[in-house]
Amino acid sequence: MNVVRKTIALLIIIFIGIPSLMAIIWAVGITQAVVSPEFLSDLPREIINKVPNMLDEVLEDVDREYVITDERARVWVRAFASANTSPKELLEEIGVMAWLENELSRSVEDIGKIFRGEMRPRTIMLNLRPLKSALKHEKIDQYLAEVLNKLPSCSDEQMREWIAEADDLDGLEELPPCRPQDLAAAVKILRSNWTQEVEDIPNEVEMLRVEGRWHFRDSGADIIHFVLSLTFFLFFFPAIILAVAALIATSSGSGILRWIGVSTLVGGILTLILSKFAGRFLEWGIGAFPFSYSYTDIPPVAEIFIEKTSDIYLGVVDHLFSGVNMVCGVVCIVGIVLIALSYAVVREAKPTPAPESKTQQPKPQPPQPTPQAAEDETKTGTATPAEAPKSESEPEKPGT
């Protein structure tokens, strides 16, 4: 009967208890990473600082023919790469970097403050008007002229194609990679197309919406700690399953603690191993993905950009999995503590009482009177039969 109970308990732990514990660890770990202040404010700021350098690196790697197979696209990208002004310098001069570091960073920081309870909840709108003004800067015309000057002169056929495509231009890839004779007119065409694209950008973008009344404290809603508290309550579900399985397996307190502790430790270790494996797999996938389907699914320049931005993806992945690894560590510590407590309960158990001795204890003797008390009793004739002195001789009966 004991073997059957332990088998049932083991099946419950293997197929229900440990899988549910692993799922909760993943949910709590990723939630904790996503709502953390670092993920909401520090990580976006780090990405913003890396983007300009990545644009320069993308343009430096356009000579790989196995990446960009369209010859016309390669000529255009080479012209952008060989311009006197680099993309990073252009973004700084026209004010895009200032908008990223000020307007965008401030909006992201306000969202983090709201989630941490440092600011009263409100709708956060990202103002795109300064960005649109920066993208219309006169420096854009100079940059376009520099790019066109790096192209070869147009032939008559290419010039006719230029004129035909300029009336309904959807992108640079439709234009022949050459420099028209009237450079000012060509810059005007490109500028008109660029301005139209900029005008399609909305003036504001809603980054966080707050609707209805908030029933939190007046200083703000500490949403991060509130959400984390709710996620940690999810551990009650696997805890109840493991406790029921332990009660089925054994009835002793030390045994129950040991069953729960071992199951918790195994679940934490398995989740940690799975997290490490999944992280390495994603790193491999991010590194291999840009060149996996390059000829059909991903545009050439976008493919290089994905490759250069892989460090950002890896940073996000590492941050997400660090939360899972931390929760795994806490779960493993809880399992070790429960196992240690199970052995402590055994040591502190009361010893069983020793059996009584079967030898007969001697009967207590009546107290002996003192000599003075015996003499007094003799005089008064109150001596007990046991204490009265025996007569020296008995009268002899007459013989027959």
Structural domain boundaries in the chain = 2-128+202-344
Tokens representing residue 264 in the block: 């918790």
CB 89 within 8 A of CB 139: no
pLDDT value at position 385?
A: 47
Q: Is 179 helix (H, G, I), strand (E, B) or coil?
A: strand
pLDDT value at position 273?
A: 96
First to last CA, the chain: 89
Instruction: Go through 240-255 and write b for each residue having 16 or more CB atoms within 10 A of its CB, e for each that does not.
Output: ebbbebbebbbeeebb
Q: How far is CA 151 from the centre of its chain?
A: 49
pLDDT value at position 387?
A: 47
Amino acid in position 131: L
pLDDT value at position 372?
A: 57
Tokens representing residue 110 in the block: 């306000």
Quote the CA–CA distance of 209 and 79 in Å, as a whole number: 43
φ, ψ at 124 (rounded to 5°): -105, 120
Per-residue pLDDT of the chain (400 residues; tens, 9 = 90+): 689 999 999 999 999 999 999 999 999 999 888 877 677 667 777 777 777 777 777 777 766 655 667 788 788 888 888 888 888 899 899 999 889 888 888 888 888 777 777 788 888 999 999 999 999 999 999 999 999 999 999 988 888 888 877 766 665 567 888 999 888 888 888 888 888 889 999 999 998 887 755 544 444 455 667 777 788 889 999 999 999 999 999 989 999 999 999 999 999 999 999 999 998 888 777 666 544 444 455 555 666 677 777 777 777 888 889 889 999 999 999 999 999 999 988 665 555 555 555 445 555 555 555 555 555 555 555 444 444 444 444 455 444 4
The DSSP bridge pattern shows strands 204-208 and 124-127 to be antiparallel
CB 172 within 8 A of CB 206: no
pLDDT value at position 330?
A: 95
